[in-house]
Structure 1
Amino acid sequence: MADVSIVEIVKELLEESPQRNFMESVDLAINLKNIDLNQPKNRIDEEVVLPNGLGKDLKIGVFAKGDIGLQAKQAGAAYVFDDAAIEMMKGDKSYAKTIAEECDFFIAETQYMQVIGKSLGTILGPRGKMPVPVLPGKSIADMIQTKQSAVRVRSKDKMTFHVSIGQRNMPPEKLAQNIETVIARVERTLVKGKHNIRSVYVTTTMGTSKKVV
């Protein structure tokens, strides 16, 4: 059960933030302290599965063919890239960058991992979007479903970074649970845990912000 104080903070935030003519996201601003992010080993780069999802459909790109490709389409993948599509991306970097920006996550059959790393790694890598391989025995449908509830938490070399945890039309209780999940993962990742966190604020896209930690 989410901490009551976080639920109340989220409720206050939603009440005080004016309704917009579009669906705002609810985000966390995480501020770190006493850690050297110039050292890559100290940086946060985690995929977190939110217990209540993001309240919207994410775009998942899958590098696959044959039965796996068909299953990916049936499971709701936004794009399925076969050999011809991969060759097109290799030859057209502008197209590859557009796809990299449009898709939230990528999954790939293991046979494609090497060529993707070699030809598209410079595009996908810096965006934190290198594909997850489909290992033997894994269901591509289950993987896509899991990705639909996931967010990438990345600090890079910045002491302050942001991550979306839902939409403002989601119940405050569910948003609070998502917040707890992200904070707990960040604490486990940091060298000194919660002692490396200066503060955490929750905010809507164009609204005010509230301190939760």
Structure 2
Amino acid sequence: MSFVPREAVEKAVREAIEASPRRNFKQSVDLVVVLRDIDLKSPQGRIREVVFLPHKPNKKVNICVVADGDMAVKARDVAERVITREELQGLVGNRKAAKKIAEFCDWVLVRTDLMPLAGRTLAPALGPRGKIPVPVPPNADIAGFVERYRAAVMLRAKDQPQVMCRVGTEDMKVEDIVENIYKVLATLEGKLPNARNNVARIIVKTTMGPPVEIMVR
């Protein structure tokens, strides 16, 4: 977004981190973009985009892989959880178990032939949490997929005219967080009919810190 000066983004990130009270856990740095003149029921308003950040936040991301055979074997070395076809079939009608998986997994990568079954068993629990099952081709490099999604965030506008996502952690270089922010803004700009008018406010904040607004042109 050309109307968002880099120096303003960097200044806001530094202020947000400096103003944040120290906690006994690593705080995220979040980006909030408040929208205006957007109909959330229109195609333009249905923002649901995966963004792969250039710099991975220093936060644990739980990746779950739904697969069988060789992919399942390889996934056990790189993913936090592997769900086989047999376990997936056992989730049919078991909403409580599906809910636990949805709460634990940040991303659920599903081999394409298992997508219909995952859609029936896991998708109803994932959807309300803003998560989606991600199809993975049978011959894909699952280790590469897992690593890529550790740097992924979801942009989603649902009930309110705004999107929010993690763009870093308080211990990251400010320059890296700024680059992540620009990647998110560029993705969002591609979804908006008129970004300059559709963006009302851009805010940066840590998990427990005060919001700091990025001053735009």
So what's the TM-score if we normalise by structure 2? Answer: 0.90
Q: Deviations over 1:90-137 (max 9, x none)?
A: 242111111101111111111111111133332223334332222254
Which of residues 16, 19, 26 is equivalent to 1:13? 16
Structure 1 residue ranges, 4+ long, deviating more than 6 angstroms after superposition? none
Contact 1:42 1:191 in 2 (8 A): no
Residue aligned with 1:125, SS: helix
Which of residues 42, 64, 68 is equivalent to 1:65? 68
Matches of 1:113 and 1:61, distance apart in 2? 14
Kindly state the Cα deviation for residue 41 of structure 1 after the two structures are TM-superposed: 4.9
Matches of 1:207 and 1:125, distance apart in 2? 28
| Correspondence 1:52 to 2:49 | no
Matches of 2:84 and 2:196, distance apart in 1? 44
Kindly state the Cα deviation for residue 34 of structure 1 after the two structures are TM-superposed: 0.7
Which of residues 122, 125, 134 is equivalent to 1:123? 125
Structure 2 unaligned spans of 5+: none
Structure 1 unaligned spans of 5+: none
Residue aligned with 1:77, SS: coil
Kindly state the Cα deviation for residue 138 of structure 1 after the two structures are TM-superposed: 2.2
Matches of 1:31 and 1:88, distance apart in 2? 41
| Correspondence 1:160 to 2:162 | yes
Residue aligned with 2:165, SS: strand
Matches of 1:116 and 1:51, distance apart in 2? 29
Aligned CA distance change for structure 1 residues 124 and 17 (closer, same or farther; 3 Å) = closer
Contact 1:110 1:134 in 2 (8 A): yes
Aligned CA distance change for structure 1 residues 138 and 194 (closer, same or farther; 3 Å) = farther
Q: Deviations over 1:172-209 (max 9, x none)?
A: 11111111111111111112223211011000111111
Matches of 2:131 and 2:140, distance apart in 1? 20
Paired residues, what number? 211
Which amino acid letter does the alignment assign opposite residue 14 of structure 1?
I
Residue aligned with 1:42, SS: coil
RMSD of aligned C-alpha atoms?
1.8
Kindly state the Cα deviation for residue 40 of structure 1 after the two structures are TM-superposed: 5.3
Which amino acid letter does the alignment assign opposite residue 126 of structure 2?
L
Contact 2:38 2:44 in 1 (8 A): no
Contact 1:38 1:157 in 2 (8 A): no
